[in-house]
Amino acid sequence: FGKKYDFEKVGEGYELEELVSEGYELLGIFNWSDHFPLICWLDLQGVRKRCRNLVSRVNVFVGKIIEEHRLKRLSEGLNDDNCNVGEFVDVLLDLEKHEKLADSDMIAVLWEMIFRGTDTVAVLLEWILARMVLHPEVQAKAQAEIESVVGKSKHVSDSDIPNLPYLQAIVKETLRVHPPGPLLSWARLAIHDVHVGDYFVPAGTTAMVNMWAITHDEKLWEEPERFKPERFMEEDISILGCDLRLAPFGSGRRVCPGKAMGLATAHLWLAQLLQRFKWIPSEDRNVDLTEHLKLSLEMKSPLVCRAIPRVP
């Protein structure tokens, strides 16, 4: 968006963090109205009120970003012919002229990028680092691969990732064991009674894909509870949606549009973290792999470990 935020001080960065945190909490909170629609008008937990307040605050915050870009373009005399598009907001503003993209639509698109582009990669990396602490032999093997490809003096870059198959296998195995989105949004509504295999699905039923159950099915995976990146070295399994044994980003028309960027970010950050640090257990707290489903499948107890510098 062309802006940097300081999250250590009270200001726009602090407000953005509050908005995202509130959104995550509201999406993951247990709401009695979801289970008893007849009492939804009571809003006993105040969830609907908090949602309305959040929407208003998001509209103001993101709307300000859009307006700042509009004013900047006007002050610099930019138009479609001389505008050097370098920020996503400017792309949306250019579309606005031709496709009449309303402010409400731009706010929705920009908020989706902010909101859904932050938690999944962060959650995935936390799970990976937890596994690196618990499986030092896997960590050492990945670090040796990085050193053999990149060396000790050069920092790893995105162009090195295709030459790091074991590191990619670690990401795949973590997505299998701890999928950030265990219940995929391929929801389907049965408009009439139907049988799916041996199961009867009555009309009005909403069905979702349980990716967690698929990735832990012993009929599909050998030793599914074991963390074993080598399984993806032995068989090339795509995680981009063409192999339904492992489709953490979904598949088909509703596949995650940010899958390539999210995967590239996870690969690069993991490579840099493993190259620069050795990850070992904390002296005061063990790694707890208990899962907790909110907006994403998070660690119930946040990871606490030690990072020992490896390279200057």
Please, are residues 94 and 80 in contact by the beta-carbon 8 Å criterion?
A: yes
Please indicate if the annotation marks 40 as binding a ligand.
no
Q: Are residues 142 and 280 in the same domain?
A: yes
Residue 103 domain-assigned? Answer: yes
Residue 217 domain-assigned? Answer: yes
Please, are residues 169 and 162 in contact by the beta-carbon 8 Å criterion?
A: no
- How many domains does the structure of the chain reveal? 2
Report d(CA 16, CA 57) in Å as an integer.
10
Q: Are residues 155 and 302 in the same domain?
A: yes
What does DSSP assign to residue 291? E
Report d(CA 79, CA 76) in Å as an integer.
9
Q: Can you give the residue range of the structural domain that contains 162?
A: 119-309
pLDDT tens column, 168-208: 999 999 999 999 888 876 678 899 999 988 999 999 988 88
Count other C-beta atoms under 10 Å from residue 282's C-beta: 12
Q: Are residues 28 and 88 in the same domain?
A: yes
Question: Residue 130's domain is classified under what CATH number?
Answer: 1.10.630.10
pLDDT tens column, 66-114: 998 888 888 877 655 555 556 788 888 877 566 777 889 889 888 887 8
Query: pLDDT confidence of 230, banded at 50, 70, 90?
Result: very high
pLDDT tens column, 254-281: 788 778 888 999 999 999 999 999 999 9
Q: Are residues 150 and 290 in the same domain?
A: yes
Residue 7: per-residue pLDDT = 72
